[in-house]
Structure 1
């Protein structure tokens, strides 16, 4: 944990923030005043960054003997709808009441004058986020399988929440969700790229011409993968929190299943820029087909059209990854020496895999 400002991302005072060419991410006196107003701990702040910071920014904040998590959007200017902290906090509050394992939201700041963007504070949870290393506490063959089963169980829990009435009913419009996704992301390509990749339009056209009929409306996480789950730190494997709700919506539940399975790592699968939980390549974890079968057993949905949703997931991913690549090319990600440059080949790779799910002739692309 850090206690001394670094002068760029974290500064002590508003005056120091205003003297910078680029706004900082934390202003300690402002955060301290906000915490005081909401009765969150006492004393000076210590902080540490959590996660890779590709999108929204998350900090662990310590005051005295208490720990909190502060989550905010990246530096402006960015599309507001993509980083709506108030909305992200609200859906977690609604889901927590329904018994979905999410962190407790302790305070929400809609006042952009505090840090330049809205943010929220939630409770800190002591748990395991599984990415590329098998946690020793969950390394037995039984726990590996239980870990995989818990991934599916948590998704089923989200998709089983009733969205037909109450506050969640007004959280989004499930009718036409899939068509809107295809239309919206098609429009984003040209404004986010500096190169020509014909696969984008070809796959987008196929998606638009083959939109399946949605069988149900559900809460969508939007970025559902094992790396966005927190597990209890001891056996048996148990999900204690589903994290990172910035892409949440009300729509077709198979969009989540499509994303989970399209990006899922298994022995022999091609690595992509979205392989963020490579641990499932190891023996004992579910394969992609195991995940699909376990979901099918729990949900009364026809999965015949699942390849369409898998193609949609990777096609969308190629478009938002291209935006990151373009920002890197423009020098707007000066500290990114790995992920940004990898997308020169990574985006075309995502498109090739999307085409495979779509059943399109790769030679024709």
Structure 2
């Protein structure tokens, strides 16, 4: 292929020379990537790629070579904050969870130096299954199938929060104690440094969360982005989890933050989609468990109190508003052409208002 124009936003090129000619780095460079895969024994011949997934943070590609398919995960196009988009952390968590009751894709290789693509990345098994976002797969699109998707969603969260951190070798993943305090401080600092405009609802929600912070319910492994669209289900008419995906935000902390975030992404009845609720639009089709049923099932199976859960739902909306403002900053800087991120001009203020609604 010929080298693309230096000012354009290009995702994939063939050579390192073509990469060097671009104003903004591409996401994949085929020739050095092929050499890396050769060294790892992952297929032969030229690399063929396809962007997959509906995520807007780390980037996921399906890779094909002769006799092999795999999935590559890498950070988005720079710039981004130094501690964000840690794909090697994702790979570490998935390797640790492979022998547990939480199914994850098998990690095949990691590249920590940035010498191949300019950033670290990892490669994992390609799994064949269904991810439920805007619609339900035909085989599961029955009242029983829909309800089963909801129960599998909450039962997987229960299993996640029951993982033995020490047995899995994840004790050093994070400081689990005082997790809520650190969340409020960290995202408060992010808002101060990454905001692009004044949004009073973000500031008001942050003050409310700080004034009403509960005692931490427990310390477990938490996913950080736990929602229906991050679960892959096996093909067939019975909901069966194939893998829990997207471990970018995983750490040790308060398990109710996962449950609160799940509720913030889980519409009920004819509720409008909104920035987060659209991530599980299929639920609005009916026959899924209600939010109350999800919470009741979680409490029954964990023995954990869910009193005061509205604080965690408000935290989820506020934290997401702050995090997505940094994504919106990327759109203003011209380093992404993701239409979802462009919509955050209105989406971030909407999330802040939802945080206040959950609080009060």
Partner of 2:334: 331
Return the offset for 1:5: 8.8
Partner of 1:319: 322
Instruction: Tell me if the contact between 1:5 and 1:12 (Cα under 8 Å) persists in the aligned partners.
Output: no
Partner of 1:363: none
Aligned length: 354
Deviations 1:306-341 (A, max 9, x none): 1110000000111112222233234343x34x4234
**TM superposition score normalised by structure 2:** 0.94
Q: Any idea what SS the aligned residue of 2:25 has?
A: coil
- Of residues 284, 305, 309, the one that matches 2:308 is 305
Would the alpha carbon gap of residues 181 and 6 (structure 1) be closer, same or farther in structure 2, given more than 3 Å must change? farther
Instruction: Tell me if the contact between 2:231 and 2:245 (Cα under 8 Å) persists in the aligned partners.
Output: yes
Deviant stretches of 4+, over 6 Å: none
Partner of 2:290: 287
Which one has more relative contact order, counting CA pairs under 8 Å at least 6 apart?
Answer: 2
Would the alpha carbon gap of residues 130 and 6 (structure 1) be closer, same or farther in structure 2, given more than 3 Å must change? farther
Would the alpha carbon gap of residues 6 and 123 (structure 1) be closer, same or farther in structure 2, given more than 3 Å must change? farther
Q: Any idea what SS the aligned residue of 1:82 has?
A: coil
Q: Any idea what SS the aligned residue of 2:216 has?
A: coil
Task: Find out whether 1:181 has 2:192 as its counterpart.
Answer: no
Task: Find out whether 1:358 has 2:348 as its counterpart.
Answer: no
Deviations 1:2-27 (A, max 9, x none): xx799532111222212222211111
CA RMSD of aligned residues (A): 1.7
> In 1, distance between residues paired with 2:33 and 2:332?
33
Partner of 1:261: 263
Return the offset for 1:206: 1.4
Q: Any idea what SS the aligned residue of 1:43 has?
A: strand
Return the offset for 1:66: 1.9
Alignment of 1:1-365 (within 5 A): 7=4, 8-52=10-54, 54-164=56-166, 167-274=169-276, 275-333=278-336, 335-336=337-338, 338-359=339-360
Return the offset for 1:217: 1.1
Return the offset for 1:99: 3.1
Instruction: Tell me if the contact between 1:5 and 1:11 (Cα under 8 Å) persists in the aligned partners.
Output: no
Instruction: Tell me if the contact between 2:268 and 2:291 (Cα under 8 Å) persists in the aligned partners.
Output: yes
> In 1, distance between residues paired with 2:168 and 2:74?
27
Structure 2: runs of 5 or more not aligned = 5-9
Structure 1: runs of 5 or more not aligned = 360-365
